[in-house]
Amino acid sequence: MAAVKKSVSVKDVARLAGVSEQTVSRTVHDSPSVRPETKERVRAAMRELGYRPNFAGRSLRRGKFKTVGVAMFNITGTGNLDRMEGFAAAADKHGYAITLTKVDGHPYTLESASSRMSALPVDGMVVIMNRMPADFGTFEPLPGMQTVLVTMLEHPLCSTVDNDQFDCSRQVVEYLLEQGHKTVHFISCPERSLSGMQREEGWRETLRAHGIEPPRLVRGDWTAQSGYAAGQALAYDPTCTAIYASNDAMAYGCIRGLESRGKRVPQDVSVVGVDDSLGDIVPDRRLTTVRFNNRRVGMWAVDKIAGAEGGCVWRGAHADPRYARRGRYGTLPALGCGPVWVATNCVRYCSDWFKNRSRAKIDRS
């Protein structure tokens, strides 16, 4: 029968390195008070003995796990990989790690996500709300479980952050109207998508604000094939000179559908998409689109949980954790036939706005 391997303690490392246990602890924390040659001796002893610091015990003593939990539906969904880049970048900056869980089931609840996270060693959780949870209006985060929801919707007890989906549509519609189009047709998405519904609302309300009754929308399913079918159908509508699609895949499919019916883009019909997701997939891409800063959304969420507050200092009533705090991101259309340029990136942390401006390449055709 194999002998049970004895665990290695700080005392064992200190004895081998010829230092105190306190020096070992300071070396683990990379304290500047320990001389470099002493650190190297301690680390050599740790390697020889196979010693690993007890981070779980240290977390319990400190009351922090230095880990953020992330719950999402689809890791490879458009924008989610960029958000994950933001989560990872902010976590690395704060010395945190990321624990990822996949949300399944329909309907799902924030309560179930929170309960699952509470069983894990995390300091807080981020939920990417692609869909509306059944208990959104009644959800109360667990004490000590800092919770950030990635959504444009405001929540009374949780911080929220997202790209401004509504304003994205407003800017696209106004851009197309400025080009002389009398109306803008819209290829929407499945009704369960929160971001898609906010884009649809922005399209509809912007047209009505200009005294234009919105034409009947075409319901797509995010795929290029649904966009292709929509383009073929809209090609026979004499009022259709401008089409706004809720994502780039449907926009690109729409262009191909229009062309299959003899329509030229953009000479006969202008088409605008959202998400700037085809640059590495489609060669010679000639699509007007909108780019979101999903990476920065992810960074804001982890900054919030890690205590950085996105650069904000909370005073007075805003220090009360019952108040929801919201970060909001918006972009002007990144419009063009060639490389896409981010036109304006407006970042709102609570009541503060930070604006970074850059050039936009505009497709005037």
Could you read off the pLDDT of 144-186 as tens digits, one per residue? 788 999 988 888 888 888 888 888 899 899 999 999 999 999 9
Task: Supply the mean pLDDT for the chain.
Answer: 77
Q: At 325, is the secondary structure helix, strand, or coil?
A: coil
More confident residue, 207 or 291: 207
Distance CA 316, CA 311 (A): 17
Q: Out of 71-80, 270-279, 350-359, which region has the weakest mean confidence (pLDDT)? A: 350-359
Please give the angle made by the CA atoms of 13, 6 and 30, to the nearest 5 degrees. Answer: 30
Please say if the pLDDT value at position 278 is more than 50: yes
Q: Out of 45-59, 65-79, 225-239, which region has the weakest mean confidence (pLDDT)? A: 45-59
Please say if the pLDDT value at position 264 is more than 90: yes
* Segments of 275-323 assigned E as strands: none
Which among 84, 66, 146 is positioned nearest to 114, based on CA atoms?
146
pLDDT digits (tens, 9 = 90+) for 104-152: 766 678 888 888 888 888 889 999 988 888 888 899 888 878 899 998 8
List, edge to edge, every strand of the sheet that includes 344-349.
Answer: 97-102, 67-72, 124-128, 146-150, 159-163, 326-331, 344-349, 352-357
Q: Out of 23-27, 60-64, 232-236, 308-312, which region has the weakest mean confidence (pLDDT)? A: 308-312
The band of 302, judged by pLDDT with boundaries at 50, 70 and 90, is: very high
Q: Looking at residue 2, what is its pLDDT?
A: 46
Q: Looking at residue 21, what is its pLDDT?
A: 87
Distance CA 348, CA 365 (A): 33
DSSP letters along 166-194, please? HHHHHHHHHHHHHTT-S--EEEE--TT-H
Q: Looking at residue 63, what is its pLDDT?
A: 57
Please say if the pLDDT value at position 25 is more than 50: yes
Distance CA 89, CA 152 (A): 22
Per-residue pLDDT, averaged over 307-326, amounts to 33
Residue pair 153/91 in contact by the 8 Å Cβ criterion: no
pLDDT digits (tens, 9 = 90+) for 199-236: 999 999 999 999 999 999 999 999 999 999 999 999 99
Which among 197, 204, 246, 257 is positioned nearest to 222, based on CA atoms?
246
Q: What phi and psi values does residue 213 have, to the nearest 5 degrees?
A: -75, 125
Please say if the pLDDT value at position 362 is more than 70: no
Q: Looking at residue 347, what is its pLDDT?
A: 25
